[in-house]
Amino acid sequence: MRLFAIRDYRHLLGAQVIALFGTGLTTVALGLLAYDLAGPHAGTVLGTALTIKMVMYVVIAPLAAAYVDRLPRRALLVGLDVIRGAVVLALPLVSEVWHIYVLIGLLQAGSAAFTPTFQAVIPDIVTDESDYTRALSASQVASTMESLLSPVLAAVALTFMTFDRLFLGTSAGFLVSALLVLSTHIPDARPSTHTKAWDKAAAGIRTFLRTPRLRGIMTLNLVVAAAGSIVVVNTVNYVRDELGGSQSDVAWMLAASGTGTLLAALVLPRVLDRVAARTIMMTGAAVLVSGTTAAVTLIATGLATWTGTAIVWTVIGIGTALIITPTGKVLRASVGRNAIPEAFAAQFSLSHLAWLITYPIAGWLGTSAGFTLAWSVLAVLAGAGATGALLLWPRHDKPGVTTAPATLARHAPSKDRSTLSKAA
C-alpha cells in the first residue's frame, strides 16, 4: 500500500498505536483503581477524573494549536510522551482519591497538547488527498483496535497480575512512542495567518460556527459523548454490581464496544469513497440514539443480561465509528491547508466539551440517582444532538457547495482553494 511506503508516516502511526494501547490499559486500570478505593462510589470517582480530563482538553488544546507553529513539533511530541509516561508511572502509588485527580490532571494536560499537534503533522507528511483520507481511516482503525484489544489484553493480564501492574505497561508504551517519534523527520509548522495567540485559538471555533456542516459535527459530538459515557464511566459498576462480574469481565465488556467500533471502521474507508459523509454520520447518530435507548430499557426493566448488554455495547461502538471516522475528511474539506491545525484543535476541544457535559451525568447522577435516570438523561441528549445535526447540516450541502469562510479562502494557497469548494 502506497501510504505505508512513507517511512515517517509508518513510524508516527506506530507511535500512535503504542501510545494508544498504553492509554487503553490506563483506562481499564483507572476504573479498577477507582473501584478499589471507592467501591460503590467508583462511578463518581471515575466521572470526576474524566471530567478533569475534559477540562484540560477543552482549555489546553486550542492554546496548543495557537503556539504549535512556534515550537519544534518533533521535540514537543517526544517531550509530551516522556511526561505522560512519568505521570502514569506514579498512578499505582496513589492511596487517596485526590491523588488520582492531581495525576490525571497532569496526564491529560500532556495529552491535550499532544493530540492536536499529532493530527496537524499528518497532512504535512501525507500530502496526497486520497492517501490522506486513508491515513485518517488508518488512525481511526488504530484507535478502534486499541478499544478492542486493550480491554482484551487487560482481561488476560488480570488473570495473573493485579491491576496496578497495568500502569507499568502504559508508561512503557509512552516511552516507546517517544522513541518512534524521535526517529521521524517532522517538518516545522507553516506559519499561521493569525499573529495573536487568542486569534489562533479562536479561529477554528469561529470556522465551526460559520460552516453548516461543521455546526452539524458540533451536535454529533454530543451524540457520541452521550452514548460513550455510558460505556466508559458506568461499565465498571454495572458489570461488578448489577451483573456480579469480575475485574476481567469489566475488560471483556469494554471489548464488546471496541469490537463494534472496529468492525465499522474496517468497512468505512471503501464506503466513504461512494457514500456522502453526511449520510454515514447521520446513520451513526441514529444507531447511537437506538443504543442509548436500548441501554435504558435494559436497566429500567430489570432484564439486564450478559448477552443483552454485550449487544447494546457493540451497537454503541458501531455508531461511534460511523460518526468519528468521517470527521477528519469533513474538516479537511472545510478549511485551507494552513488552517488545518486550528480546525483539528477546535474539533478536539469541542468534542471534549461534549464529554465534559456527559461524564458528570454518567458518573455523579448515575451514582446518586441510579443508572435508569442517568442513562435516560443521556438518551435525551443523544436524541437532541441527532436532531440538531439534521437541522444544522443541510442535506443539500454537497460537493461543489462552498461553505468555508471567505477569509480562509483568501489565505489558502491556490492548491487548497479547489479543496475549499468541496464538501465531505
Least confident piece of the model among 13-22, 100-109, 148-157, 167-176: 148-157
Taking only the tens place, the pLDDT of each residue in 329-357 is 888 788 876 676 677 767 877 888 898 89
For residue 5, count other CB atoms closer than 10 A to its CB.
9
Report phi then psi at 403, rounded to 5: -125, 0
Higher-confidence residue of 290 and 21: namely 290
- Of residues 389 and 163, more confidence is placed in 389
Please give the mean pLDDT across all residues of the chain.
Answer: 79
- Cell digits of residue 271: 464506503
Q: What percent of the chain has pLDDT over 70?
A: 79
Q: What does the pLDDT look like over 364-401, one tens digit per residue?
A: 899 889 999 999 999 999 999 999 999 999 887 654 33
Higher pLDDT, 195 or 253: 253
Residue 61 has pLDDT above 60, yes or no: yes
Which percentage of the chain shows pLDDT scores above 90?
A: 24
Q: How far apart are CA 343 and CA 204, in angstroms?
A: 4
- At position 33, the amino acid (one-letter code) is L
Range 59-76 average pLDDT: 74
Residue tagged 485527580 (cell numbers): 101
Cα–Cα distance, 404 to 64 (Å, whole number) = 23
Please give the model's pTM, rounded to 2 decimal places: 0.72
Average the pLDDT over each of 149-153, 184-188, 402-406 and give the range with the smallest value. 402-406
Tell me which residue has cell 512512542.
Answer: 177
The 10s digit of each residue's pLDDT in 228-253 is 999 988 888 899 888 888 877 887 88
Position 179 scores a pLDDT of 94
- pLDDT surpassing 50 at residue 225: yes
In degrees rounded to 5, what are phi and psi of residue 18? -65, -45
Per-residue three-class SS string for the chain: CHHHHCHHHHHHHHHHHHHHHHHHHHHHHHHHHHHHHHHHHHHHHHHHHHHHHHHHHHHHHHHHHHHHHHCCHHHHHHHHHHHHHHHHHHHHHCCCHHHHHHHHHHHHHHHHHHHHHHHHHHHHHCCCHHHHHHHHHHHHHHHHHHHHHHHHHHHHHCCCCCHHHHHHHHHHHHHHHHHHHHCCCCCCCCCCCCCCHHHHHHHHHHHHHHCHHHHHHHHHHHHHHHHHHHHHHHHHHHHHHHCCCCHHHHHHHHHHHHHHHHHHHHHHHHHHCCCCHHHHHHHHHHHHHHHHHHHHHHHHCCCCCHHHHHHHHHHHHHHHHHHHCCHHHHHHHHCCHHHHHHHHHHHHHHHHHHHHHHHHHHHHHHHHHCHHHHHHHHHHHHHHHHHHHHHHCCCCCCCCCCCCCHHHHHHCCHHHHHHHCCCC
DSSP structure string for 2-32: GGGG-HHHHHHHHHHHHHHHHHHHHHHHHHH
| Residues whose CB is less than 8 angstroms from the CB of residue 228 and which lie 6 or more positions away in sequence, other chains included | 316, 320, 355, 358
Q: What is the pLDDT at residue 292?
A: 97
- The predicted pLDDT at position 415 comes to 38
In contact, 386 and 287? CB cutoff 8 Å: no
Q: What is the pLDDT of residue 259?
A: 82
